[in-house]
Amino acid sequence: DDRIYTRWQRIFRGVRPFPHLASFLRRLRDSDLRIGVLSDFPIGDKLAHLGLDIEWDCVISAEDTGYLKPNPEPFRRLAECLGVRASEILFIGNNYEYDILGASRVGMKTAHLAREPAEDSVADVTFSDYRELESELFEAARR
């Protein structure tokens, strides 16, 4: 309990989100897109500490599902919570094995936050800056 609920909460207070993430999320929200969070760690005050305490449509942690990523159950639960099919979700993650492979196995589209694509990557897109992903997503929507 101390490690997960107390120490991690303190650690998250010192973590800063990736640059431009907050503005990216606001743009998604302003575009009436549903957004959610799936975390292996208990959510607690994590989002507030990261400055990401916006109006989320769904917030799920491993504790809610009883499974850690890349198990399919958390990803299925996310789709259920958002009220959409898995194939309608773009799952964004920075861990290739847990986030990208887990999400793609249930049929989600994936965006991998990384400097370089993983070898033989299954990610639909790899990006290193949220402005890049935002531009790509909204440009594709205009086509």
pLDDT, tens digit, for every residue of 44-62? 778 887 889 889 999 999 8
In the three-class reduction of DSSP (H, G, I as helix; E, B as strand; rest coil), residue 92 is classed as strand
* Whether this model's pTM surpasses 0.75: yes
What is the DSSP secondary-structure string of 52-80?
Answer: --S--SEEEEHHHHT--TTSHHHHHHHHH
* 116 pLDDT above the threshold of 90: yes
Is it the case that residue 5 has pLDDT exceeding 70? no
pLDDT at residue 43 above 90? no
3-state secondary structure of 67: coil
